[in-house]
Amino acid sequence: MLRGVLDANMVIGLVKGGVFDLLPSLYALLYIPVGVKQEVLTGQGRPGEAELTQALQAWITEVSPDLGRVPRVSASLSTADREVLAVAADPAMAIDHVLTGDDPLYQQAERLGYTSLSVTDVVVFMKAEGLVPDVKSVLDRLIQHGFGVDRQTYEQTLRIEGEWPTP
C-alpha cells in the first residue's frame, strides 16, 4: 500500500467532498506535519477540524519534520508547505504521494521530483479503486461547499472519466 503526506487544502477539500474518510483505503500510512495540523485545527469549527481530530487518533500520523531536509524552494511557500516537502524528502518516510490542493506546493513538489496528487486526482483515484461510484458527484459537492474546482478542470476530468457531457 501507499504512503502519503497531506496538506491542509487536501484535508479540507476531501472533507467538503464527503470522501476524506476513504483515504485509509488508499494509503497504508498518511502523515501530516505539525504546521499543517495547526492550519486545519483552528478551534473555529471550520471544515476538516472534527474529521482530522478523529483521524489523528486512528489513521493519520502527526510528524515534526526536519526543515533542513527541504531543498531550496520558493520563498512564497508557507512553513506548513515546507514541512510537507520535508516529509516527502525524508527517506525514512518513503512517501509515494504529496497530497495537496495548493497549486504552488503541487508545482514545487513536482519540480523536486515528487509525485503530487490534487484533490481532483485523489477523487479519480478513489473511483479507479471502486471507492466512489463516480467523480462528478464528489466534484459537485466540492463546488457546492465552496471548494475551488475551476470549470476547465471539472470538464476535463469528467471527459477523461467518461462522465461528460452530463445529463
Instruction: Supply 64's cell numbers.
Output: 515534526
Domain count, the chain: 1
pLDDT tens for residues 23-58? Answer: 999 999 999 999 999 999 988 888 999 999 999 989
SS3 85: helix
Residue 80 has what pLDDT?
94
Domain membership of residue 94 as a residue range: 2-119
Residue 167 has what pLDDT?
65
In a domain, 140, yes or no: no
Closest CA to 163 of 123, 131, 129, 118: 123
Closest CA to 49 of 6, 12, 94: 12
In a domain, 149, yes or no: no
In a domain, 129, yes or no: no
Q: Per-10-residue mean pLDDT for the chain, 167 residues long?
A: 95 97 97 96 90 95 90 83 95 96 94 96 98 97 94 96 86
In a domain, 161, yes or no: no
In a domain, 139, yes or no: no
Strands 2-6 and 116-117: unpaired
Please report, for the domain that includes residue 75, its CATH number.
3.40.50.1010
3 state SS for 91-141? CCCCCCEEECCCHHHHHHHHHCCCCEECHHHHHHHHHHCCCCCCCHHHHHH
Residue 72 has what pLDDT?
76
In a domain, 11, yes or no: yes
